Amino acid sequence: MEIEGRIYHRGEIIDAALEIDGGRIKRVKKYITGAKRIRGVIFPGAIDLHAHFREPGYEHKEDFYTGTMSAAFGGITFVMDMPNTNPPVSDAESFNEKLRTVSRKANVDFSLYFLLNENAQILREHNAAFKLYMGETTGAKGSEVTYVPHSFISVHAELNECIKKESTNLREHDLARPESCEVRAVKTLLGMGKFHIAHVSSVDTVDMCKVGRFTCEVTPHHLLLHRDMPLGSFGKVNPPLRARWIAERLWEELLIGRIDIVASDHAPHTVEEKEEEFSSAPAGIPEVETYVPIFMRLMRMEKIPLRRMVEVLMEKPAELIGIGKGKIEKGYDADLIAMNFKDVRRVRSRDLHYKCGWTPYEGFEAIYPHTVIVGGEYVIEDGEFVGERMGKFVKIEGNKF
């Protein structure tokens, strides 16, 4: 297949054409006779290293089909799915079982995390991506680090010993799981190996990551939302939403490159579950369909430069796990998204494809992709979902770390 249009290539938007063969980009050229013209601007598909698609066990919140469909509509062509399912992904059997089930439902490319445990050495052969929960959160108890494999290890850094159980509103939730709890957790990892710190919610945590030479991510909610918004338990998430000035400081850290990437921590719960009393409502916010479109809009509003946006959403996440995605270059997977910058729409939960049916970004301005291509095949064409279940499992290779 050959396509042409306005293409993001090496920091600029240029007129170019792509020759695609066997799911990969074979050539980037100035011009190819007969290439299909794609409207708008073409970017590499976004890479989300942190999603909870809830299979197996919590399919009433989301399943792999709706999760990856929402991802595609949100411009994401590769996701890493978290292991805090029921059963959790903690041994070869649960991994293979999950891989079998979700492979049949994947609408974008994907990979799967293991819970980091004593089997890590054996599990690495299946996929070298682990999640370490240091403290208790939705669907996980929190555990000690006993063995650190040479792998990509995403860490939920909060310590049980400094988490208070009870909170009745967002401000209290912030204080019940304070920033210092996150900073201390990261501190205990210093000198133990190489880690990637998930969803940093404090600038002090970023500083501690620098001390340990760890990479880190920030979520859209820690940048765009804060604890004083009238979200109630719908804004309850771990680590908690902080004060507004902290969200602003995290933006700066992202812009100057001290935070490496953005990852969604898409963690859907149903409206019913979220409507429970604050103290018992589950923590987690759905994200996967809205953050890339919101970032596109913010880029157009000059809140983030074009190049930096592509780095944090596409290039750097792919680099961190060592996969040939995230760039429009010869040899890279042909995972592409295209949008029209003039097509600014407001986020409406009724337009989204989540099972949970809500978003905290109601009314935010966004630029959604009208075309999404995964491995050279259309998943969304002119806004229509066309390519069902064509996502493939991508193995994360341990020898890259």
Residue 337 binds which entry of Zn ion, ligand NCD, none, CB below 5-8 Å type-dependent? none
Taking the complex as a whole, the smallest distance from the CB of residue 140 to Zn ion amounts, in Å, to 8
Does 139 sit near ligand NCD (CB under 6 A)? Answer: yes
Cα separation, 226 vs 240, whole angstroms? 9
Q: Choosing from 48, 81, 109, 265, which is the catalytic residue? A: 265
Residue owning tokens 């938007």: 13
Q: Which does 52 bind (CB under 5 to 8 A by kind): Zn ion, ligand NCD, none?
A: ligand NCD
Euclidean distance between CA atoms 271 and 45, whole angstroms: 30
Site membership for ligand NCD, residue 360 (CB under 6 A): no
Binding to Zn ion by residue 52, rule CB under 5 A? no
Counting contacts by CB under 6 A, is residue 265 touching ligand NCD?
yes
- What is the C-alpha separation between 355 and 375, in angstroms, rounded? 26
Both tokens of 76, joined, read 């994401």
Helix, strand or coil, per DSSP, at residue 338: strand
Residue 283, binding choice from ligand NCD, Zn ion, none, Cβ under 5 to 8 Å by partner class: ligand NCD
Select from Zn ion, ligand NCD, none the partner in contact with residue 317, using the beta carbon and a kind-dependent cut-off of 5 to 8 Å.
Answer: none
Q: Which of 236, 196, 24 minimizes the C-alpha distance to 113?
A: 196
- Angle ∠(76,68,282) on CA atoms, nearest 5: 105
CB-nearer residue toward ligand NCD: 175 or 211: 175
Cβ atoms of 352 and 67 closer than 8 Å: no
Rule CB under 5 A: say whether 269 interacts with Zn ion: no
Tell me if residue 174 is catalytic: no
Burial of 53 (0-12, 13-18, 19+ CB in 10 A): buried
**DSSP class per residue in 93-117:** HHHHHHHHHHHTT-SSEEEEPEEPS
Size of the residue set binding ligand NCD (CB under 6 A): 12
Among residues 54 and 156, whose Cβ is nearest to Zn ion?
156
Note whether 25 binds ligand NCD by CB under 6 A: no
Nearest approach, Cβ of 85 to ligand NCD (angstroms)? Answer: 9
- Judged by beta carbon, residue 156 or residue 236, the one nearer Zn ion is 156
For residue 139, the partner it binds in Zn ion, ligand NCD, none, with Cβ less than 5 to 8 A by kind, is ligand NCD
Min separation Cβ 237 and Zn ion, Å: 9
Binding positions for Zn ion, 130-159, rule CB under 5 A: 156
Q: Is 52 in the site for ligand NCD (CB under 6 A)?
A: yes
Q: Cα-flanking dihedrals φ and ψ of residue 158, to 5°?
A: -145, 140
- Indicate which single residue of 116, 159, 267, 294 sits in contact with ligand NCD (rule: CB under 6 A): 267
CA end-to-end distance (rounded Å), the chain? 34
Radius of gyration of the chain (CA): 20
Q: Is 84 in the site for ligand NCD (CB under 6 A)?
A: yes
Residues with catalytic function: 265
